[in-house]
Amino acid sequence: MSSSSKSLKIGIVGFGTFGQFLANTMIKQGHTLTATSRTDYSQLCDQMGIHFFRDITAFLDADMDVILLCTSISSLSEVVGSMPLACLKRPTLFVDVLSVKEHPKNLLLKVLPEESDILCTHPMFGPVSGKNGWQNLTFMFDKVRIKDEVTCSKFLQIFASEGCKMVEMSCEEHDKAAAKSQFITHTIGRYAASYLSFTNQRQTSN
């Protein structure tokens, strides 16, 4: 990163495969990372230069610009609900990276303090598709509740600077488009299966 003024203090909640994948690029760019997770990743974090917290209270007390939620869809509610949010030292930007968007948006609006900013995102790539870089890969985002535009812009720049296609879209629009895409994929899959079955039956009868 060209200037230390552009670096962020980012705390990752859920340091599984996807959290580690994002962390590698963030470290390369010069951001300062901390992490917490149900599984003990302290040894891996030591190797990566990341401060790992087993205790969520100590994690929130670490004074971060951004808290990046890399949990699963099924565990998000439990994880966020268990956070002692009163430990936050100052207004913080919360970012989720789930593949569905209305659920995290509604949950974060309900649970987080009013002074906390909310950015819902969907990096439409992962460790396999993004292993050789993020150039031309799609990054969807929705500025659900943003007061600190500077911090939000710095976070989005992490992905823009790697060449991502930055797509601003509401959570509702995202989920409608995703549902339509899944329907088309499912329909094509059923048609293909039926066609193969019909072809096999004809070959057998011949």
Give the domain CATH number at 32: 3.40.50.720
Is the CB of residue 155 less than 8 Å from the CB of residue 95?
Answer: yes
Whether 93 and 120 share a structural domain = yes
Instruction: Tell me the average pLDDT of the chain.
Output: 89
Co-location of 24 and 38 in the same domain: yes
CA distance 69 to 35: 10
Is residue 201 located within the same domain as residue 117?
no
17 and 31 both lie in a single domain: yes
Q: pLDDT tens for residues 181-200? A: 653 344 444 554 454 554 45
Three-state DSSP class for 165?
Answer: strand
Is residue 10 scored above 50 in pLDDT? yes
Question: 160: which 2 tokens?
Answer: 């823009």
Shared domain check, 122 and 203: no
Instruction: Give the count of beta carbons closer than 10 Å to the beta carbon of residue 67.
Output: 26
Given a contact cutoff of 8 angstroms between Cβ atoms, the answer to whether 12 and 70 are in contact is yes
Find how far residue 10's CA is from the centre of its chain. Answer: 13
Assess whether 135 and 161 both reside in one domain.
Answer: yes
Q: What is the pLDDT of residues 111-127, one digit of tens each?
A: 999 999 999 999 999 99
Tell whether 146 and 81 lie within a shared domain: yes
Based on the domain organization, do 106 and 188 belong to the same domain? no
CB 165 within 8 A of CB 140: no
Residue 34: its H or E element: strand 32-36
Share of residues in the chain with pLDDT > 70 (%) = 84
The pLDDT tens digits of the residues spanning 128-184 come to 999 999 999 999 999 999 999 999 999 999 999 999 999 999 999 999 998 776 533
User: Would you say 26 and 42 are in contact if contact means Cβ atoms under 8 Å apart?
Assistant: no
Task: Read off the pLDDT band of 206 (50, 70, 90).
Answer: low
In terms of domains, do 197 and 135 share one? no
Helix 171-205 with 102-111: angle, nearest 10 deg? 150
pTM, two decimals, is: 0.86
One-letter amino acid at 86 equals A
Helix (H, G, I), strand (E, B) or coil at 74: coil
Q: How far apart are CA 92 and CA 106, in angstroms?
A: 18
pLDDT at 67: 98
| CA–CA separation, 170 and 68 (whole Å) | 19
Strands 117-123 and 138-145: antiparallel
The predicted pLDDT at position 162 comes to 98
* Mean pLDDT on 36-65: 96
Q: Which residues of 161-181 are buried (b: 16+ CB within 10 A; e: fewer)?
A: ebebeeeebbbeebbeebeee
Q: How many domains are contained in the chain?
A: 2
**Three-state SS at 144:** strand
Q: Are residue 152 and residue 117 in the same domain, yes or no? A: yes
Range of the domain at 10: 4-169
